Chains A and B, each alone.
Chain A
Amino acid sequence: MTAASAVYYRLAMGLAERPWLAALFRNLGPFVPLIAAWQIVVLLRIWPRSFLPAPAAVPQAFAFLVTESDLPGQVLRTIYRVTAGGLAGLGLGVLLGAMVGTSRGLHEALRGLIDYLQAVGEIGWLPLFIIWSGFNDRTIILTVAYTVFFPVFFGTMAGILAVPRTLANSVLTLGGGRRHVLWEVLLPGALPAIITGFRVGMGFGWRTVILAEMLIAQLGLGVMMFEARSFFRVDWILVGMVVAGVLWLVTDRFVLLPLESKTIQRWGVQVVER
């Protein structure tokens, strides 16, 4: 009892001194009951072990895949694809979003088409992309780019439309032209919305890259997970799920979210506590 309370005390003190550690615990908190429930289900032997291995089997399988198979190489390939596709989607989304956001004519002309293309979705295009581009990285990158494009496009457009008109007017009365209005006012003004769009898009992009790899690639996290199915290695599939989820969480929490908060803060908008 005293030992337990001493541990608790030291833990609490440690957390108070290190806010990032406290944040880590807060974020990991919900995983504890989830894993516990999983362990209980396994102990109750509702399904055979081969259907649902114990939680402890996952780190074991992870160690095996890292040492005996080329898991890091597969993951790097996936990261490359999702990054390349994400950046392409970001570039295209900002470009078209800025064009549609600054021109009423283009807005009216393209809005319906873009809504339609979003509804079709990257999975609907995938067979066509394969025919056009083949079973290769380019097809996967294209599919991810398609996914990331829409949230970035809508973020850019909405962000630009939300910039107060007087800011553009102030640049005009200082002697600026349309180019200055775009670079000094509209794009910086839309930046928080663009980053939010990119965050949402990359969240979708991670799902897309795994799926596209399952259907197209010979290498990659999605491939590893899909192949494990034919060997009935549920533990390998679980490793893939954990790795994909953790990679996304790390990217989001340590890169995208701080970037978003920073722009929103600097831009003078009230930061909402998350």
Chain B
Amino acid sequence: MADSRAIHRHDHTAREAVLPEDAAKILFDGVTFEYIDAQTGERLRAIDGLTAQIRENEFFCILGPSGCGKSTLLYLVAGLLKPTQGKILVGGRVVKGPGADRGLVFQEYALLPWRTVRENVALGLKIRGVSREERDAVARRFIHLVGLDGFERKYPHELSGGMRQRVAVARTLANSPDVMLMDEPFAAVDAQTRAVLQEELTRIWAQSRLTVVFVTHNVDEAIFLGDRVLIMTPRPARVHSVIPIDIPREERSWAHLDRDPRFAALRGRIGDVMRNLGDGSASNHDRG
């Protein structure tokens, strides 16, 4: 109990130190999330007074051991869950519920199985009441962007895992959000596909004005993608550290990075932290 009080005091000082609220695109302000375990009926704390900020247009990675509450953090930003204490601000406004300004790409794709690729990509526009012609035009553009031309009329079950995740990304982008939240989106695809998807995502992000929050448990992926990487502690999750990735974007391709000493140094440093946090699964040579 004394320990948790100490943490709150720490949070308070941390809040004093942050930028004015409107300077951050996303601000976590002493966010605590608790829930009732369905089996034991126990009250559990998943996130414990987390404070952090994410800049506009930033590619921000959240890295942490499995089950540490990374996904919960994204769901809180998306408005699908509500913090028990503290608040989250996106674009200066407190998050009260889900909204089209914050798109979420789910780990398990979450495409509608009974809708074609085009209908899935156009779903957000349909919800907004955009006309069919305009919807189709926008959908075609984003299907092209993710390299799925010719697959417009396919159903999700006819596509591979990697293609499904491209559709999910296109669906989120077609809805023109300010923030794209990504919940371990490439965890379920094979290593080759993952490397390609990571490079394409960086390209798409560079062309857009998006703020991306990308959750992963994979050290290499976080370094490859992120402007900064936030490392979370195991449950209850707090900020362990935020590490800037100082490798220029144009030098980030898998062909070069494997031999880049800066990449090796970051990988060693972050890998050590992860191992000390008790995640045996974090491997240096695994891209996924």
Contacts and interface: CB of A to CB of B under 8 A. Distances in A.
A and B pair up? yes
Interface residues of B, number: 27
B128 interface: yes
Given A172-B80, A173-B78, A173-B80, A268 B110 contact: no
A173 B179 CA distance: 11
A184 B110 contact: no
Interface stretch (B22-30, B94-102, B201-209): B94-102
Contacts of B155: 266, 268
Nearest to A166: B110
Interface SS, A side: helix
B127 A174 contact: yes
B171 interface: yes
A267 interface: yes
Interface in A137-188: 164, 166-167, 169-176, 180, 184-185, 188
Contact of B103 (A173, A176, A189): A173
B127 A170 contact: no
Contact of B114 (A164, A172, A173, A188): A188
B117 to A, nearest CB: 13
Given A169-B104, A170-B104, A268-B157, A175 B110 contact: no
Given A167-B110, A268-B155, A175 B80 contact: no
A164 B99 CA distance: 20
B171 A174 contact: yes
B116 to A, nearest CB: 10
Contacts of A263: 114
Contacts of B234: none
Contact of B100 (A175, A188, A268): A175
A254 B216 CA distance: 50
B108 interface: yes
Contacts of B111: 170
A172 B156 contact: no
A173 B76 CA distance: 12
B175 interface: yes
A171 B125 CA distance: 11
B244 interface: no
Contacts of A189: 114
Contacts of A180: 127
B124 interface: yes
A216 to B, nearest CB: 41
B36 to A, nearest CB: 15
A166 B98 CA distance: 13
A8 B14 CA distance: 89
A274 to B, nearest CB: 20
Interface in B153-202: 155-157, 171-172, 175, 181
A167 B113 CA distance: 10
Contact of A266 (B80, B98, B114, B127): B114
A215 to B, nearest CB: 42
B230 interface: no
A176 B113 contact: no
A175 B80 CA distance: 12
B123 interface: yes
A265 to B, nearest CB: 9
B18 interface: no
Given A169-B80, A266-B155, A175 B128 contact: yes
Interface string B74-116: 0000111000000000000000001110111010101111100
Interface of A: 164, 166-167, 169-176, 180, 184-185, 188-189, 191, 263, 266-268
Interface of B: 78-80, 98-100, 102-104, 106, 108, 110-114, 123-124, 127-128, 155-157, 171-172, 175, 181
List of 9 A-B pairs having minimum Cβ-Cβ separation, nearest first: A175-B100, A268-B157, A174-B124, A170-B110, A172-B98, A268-B113, A173-B104, A166-B110, A176-B127
